[in-house]
Amino acid sequence: MANSTQEEQLSSSPRWIVVIEGIIAVVLGILLVIKPIGTTTVVLQLLGWFFFIAGLFTALSIIINREHWGWKLFVGVLGVIAGLFVSDHPLWTSLAITTTFAVILGLIGIFIGVSKIGMAFRGAGWGQGILGILIAILGVMVLFNAFISGIALPILLGIFSIIGGLAAIVFTFRQR
């Protein structure tokens, strides 16, 4: 009898973790949609402090274990510098990250579009060709408007976070 109770507690625990993660994702998504710049700034400041603390611990781990001390020192110093920079300049960091991500997405869109156009000429049909042209145009638009696309990215991530969090909550309760 006690064994089955323990199994029920263990099996129900991960479900609640998923529900909590879903709630956090929904709240973060709502904050990103309502106040994208402020939320991104706070999240990046927390990330900066995480880098800083992780860098300190990595560098200090040399005291306990001197194995690979050069790499530990390098990673530790890099983490501290990155943490200080991200914490002190979260707006610059968010613009740099989102703009870089938008450039990468634009280049991927162009590549996929050109590939689909090539597939159309090899007999895949004009549907592939038209889709390839549209994807390539979208990729070019994102690439040449990377800054604006980067600014819109937190809102888009917020929407995906809301949808993903709600889906996690709903599917967790449906499995019961």
Q: What is the pLDDT of residue 142?
A: 81
How many CA within 13 A on the CB side of residue 138?
11
**pTM, to two decimals:** 0.58
Share of the chain above pLDDT 90, in %: 5
Residues 87/50, Cβ–Cβ less than 8 Å: no
Q: Kindly report the average pLDDT of the chain as a whole number.
A: 82
Backbone φ/ψ region at 68: left (φ over 0), alpha (ψ -120 to 50), beta: left
Question: Would you kindly state where each structural domain of the chain is located, as residue ranges?
Answer: 18-175
Residues 77/55, Cβ–Cβ less than 8 Å: yes
20-24, 50-54, 57-61, 120-124: least confidently modelled range? 120-124
Work out whether the CA dihedral 97, 100, 102, 105 comes out positive or negative: negative
Q: What is the mean pLDDT of residues 111-130?
A: 84
Q: What is the pLDDT of residue 3?
A: 55
64, with CB counted inside 10 A (0-12, 13-18, 19+), is exposed
CA distance 82 to 116: 40
pLDDT at 59 > cutoff 80: yes
Q: Express each pLDDT in 70-112 by its tens digit.
A: 888 898 899 999 889 888 887 788 777 777 888 888 898 899 8
Between residues 93 and 163, which one has the greater pLDDT?
163
Residues 18/168, Cβ–Cβ less than 8 Å: yes
